[in-house]
Structure 1
Amino acid sequence: GRYEDERVANKSTYWVVFELLWRDFFKFFAAKHGTKIFMIDGTSPQHKKRWGYDPKQFAAWKEGRTGYPLVDANMRELAATGFMSNRGRQNVCSFFTIDMNTDWRRGA
C-alpha cells in the first residue's frame, strides 16, 4: 500500500489492511445479495436445506455439555466470564450451524 511504501510496512499494518479488505468485501457482498446472506442456502437457491432444532441438544450446547471438548470449554468460559475469544466464537458457531444443523439466529 501507499502508506507502507512511504513510511514503513510491518506485521501490524498488514493486518490492518487485511481486516479492512475483509470488512469491505462483506459490505459489498451484503449490498449485492441483501438478506439472502443470512439464509440457510445463502446466495445459492440450488439447495433446499432446512434447519433442524432439538431443544435438548440446544440446552447441552448452551451449557457446554455437547461432548466436544473445544466447544464445551468455550461455552463454559462464556457462561463463567461473559467472554469468548473470536476464534472460540467461530468454532462454536460453526458447530452450532453445521454439526447441530441449527439456525444461527437461535444461538445469537
Structure 2
Amino acid sequence: KYEQERVQNKSTYWVVFELLWRDFFKFFAVKHGNSIFFLDGTLGKKAHGEHPNSRRWSLDKRHLQAWKEGRTGYPLVDANMRELAASGFMSNRGRQNVCSFLSIDMK
C-alpha cells in the first residue's frame, strides 16, 4: 500500500523482500522446530549419495578457536573474522561465507 500511495523504489523493494524471507524462516522454524538445526536437516535424511559418516562436525576446540581468531588458513574466512574482531562489523556476504565454512567445510 505504501508503494502504491507514496513511492516504489529499490529501497522499498528490499524491505519487502527481506520481510518475506524473515516470515518464511519464522514459519519454517515453527513447523520444523529444532530440526532446522540438525545435521541431517528437517527431514532427518542424508543427502543423496552421501556416506553416512561423512557429515560430522569437528569437536576440536582448537579449530573453533582458530576460526574465531581468523587463523583457519583460508584467507577469505580469516579476513572476515579479523574484520569482525577489529570493527565489530562483517558484511552479509562475509557472514554467509564464514558460517558456511564453520558448518560445512571446517574439519
Which TM-score applies when normalising by structure 1?
0.79
1:30 corresponding residue in structure 2: 29
Cross-structure match for 1:98: 104
Higher RCO, 1 vs 2 (CA within 8 Å, ≥6 residues apart): 1
Asked if residue 69 in structure 1 is aligned to residue 104 in structure 2, the reply is no
Shift of 1:19: 0.6
Aligned-pair CA distance for 1:91: 1.1
Q: Tell me the CA shift for residue 69 of structure 1.
A: 1.2
Q: Deviations over 1:12-68 (max 9, x none)?
A: 110011011001101110111011111111202112543222233222212211121
Q: Percent identity?
A: 75
Cα RMSD, aligned residues only: 1.8
- Bigger fraction of residues in helix: 1
Of the candidates 61, 85, 88, which is equivalent to residue 91 of structure 2? 85
Separation in structure 2 between the aligned mates of residue 81 and residue 10 of structure 1, nearest angstrom = 31
Between the two proteins, the alignment pairs up a number of residues equal to 100
Deviation beyond 4 Å, 4+ runs, structure 1 = none
The residue number in structure 1 matching 2:49 is none
- Unaligned 5+ residue runs, structure 2? 47-51
